[in-house]
Structure 1
Amino acid sequence: MFIKWTVIFSLLAILSKTAESIMCYQCNSTDTDNPYQCAEFMTGSEDIKPTPCTNVYNAQYCIKFTGRHEGGLETIRSCSSLDHGNYCIYGSQRGDQLDYRSCMYTCSTDGCNLATSVNTSFLIKLIPMGLLAKIFL
């Protein structure tokens, strides 16, 4: 009986969310005060670190946008309360000789908007916990 309750409380502790917000990289590649700190491809050696998303109500996601924005090419890393998905669009403006690509990446773990890859989903993390519960319950 003790093992059963231990497993149940462990699963609840793992699955519960704390009141703290997600921590994301928050930067803009056009920031002249911190040049080169928010490039499209970051290596992790930059001076910036993930920070709490306290400025976005109910922030649950980190996002990375890269592409054409406000007349130039830009990379923005930020927080969001919405899951914007992962997609790229291609287009051009009148007079452009080349198409451009704009991409949006959304993820839901601390610091996950460093790169373009998206971390494993919550469901994949849930599978081992479900197997443990089945074994012990």
Structure 2
Amino acid sequence: MTMRFQLLSLVVIVSLAARGNCIRCYSCGSLEKGCDDPFDSSVVGSVECTTYNTSSYYGTEYEACYKAKLTIAGITSVIRGCGDVDVGNQCETYSGVEYCYYTCRTDECNGATFITSSVVLLMTSALTYLIIR
């Protein structure tokens, strides 16, 4: 086998391994113990994000986890759950109200204080670059 074929095979395997039947996300709100930052995964459980146990508006499978953070007059509220799409990380401020929305695509990734991109995506991109180069 050539090196190029081996790398392509590895990229395909890693990409397929990253896609399971559904993603697992932490699901909670600030009123629940352990959900705020700093997050406590020993108290908060995760759920499989299927259309059967969560409310998907369009009946689609969930592909991402999210963490939404709202700060009003110094009081912060956090919500974690399943999301339809990965929109990245973004924060907006309107009239003194800060709203941040973080998304990610790996199991239980929405437990972190800051959510980063998937390691699998980074590896796939790097290997693809090496193959094409």
The match for 1:102 is 99
Aligned with residue 90 of structure 1, among 83, 89, 93:
93
Q: Secondary structure of the residue that 1:65 maps to in structure 2?
A: strand
Question: How much has 1:10 moved relative to structure 2?
Answer: 3.5
CA contact (8 A) 2:91 2:98 kept: yes
Aligned identity (percent) is 26
The match for 2:28 is 27
User: Post-superposition, which runs of at least 4 consecutive aligned residues in structure 1 deviate over 4 A?
Assistant: 2-8, 131-134
- Once the two structures are overlaid, the 10-residue window that deviates more, 99-108 or 48-57, is 48-57
Change (3 A) 1:124 1:78: same
Structure 1: which 5+ residue stretches go unaligned? 93-98
Which residue identity is paired with 1:117? F
CA contact (8 A) 2:65 2:105 kept: yes
Structure 2 CA distance for aligned equivalents of residues 21 and 74 of structure 1: 27
Question: How much has 1:60 moved relative to structure 2?
Answer: 1.1
CA contact (8 A) 2:33 2:44 kept: no
Q: Secondary structure of the residue that 1:67 maps to in structure 2?
A: strand
Q: Which has the larger radius of gyration?
A: 1
* TM-score (norm: length of structure 2): 0.69
The match for 1:124 is 122
CA contact (8 A) 2:39 2:113 kept: no
Which residue identity is paired with 1:111? E
Structure 2 CA distance for aligned equivalents of residues 53 and 24 of structure 1: 7
2:47 paired with 1:51:
yes
Structure 1 CA distance for aligned equivalents of residues 37 and 92 of structure 2: 16
Aligned with residue 112 of structure 2, among 91, 115, 125:
115
Q: How many residues align?
A: 122
Q: Secondary structure of the residue that 1:106 maps to in structure 2?
A: strand
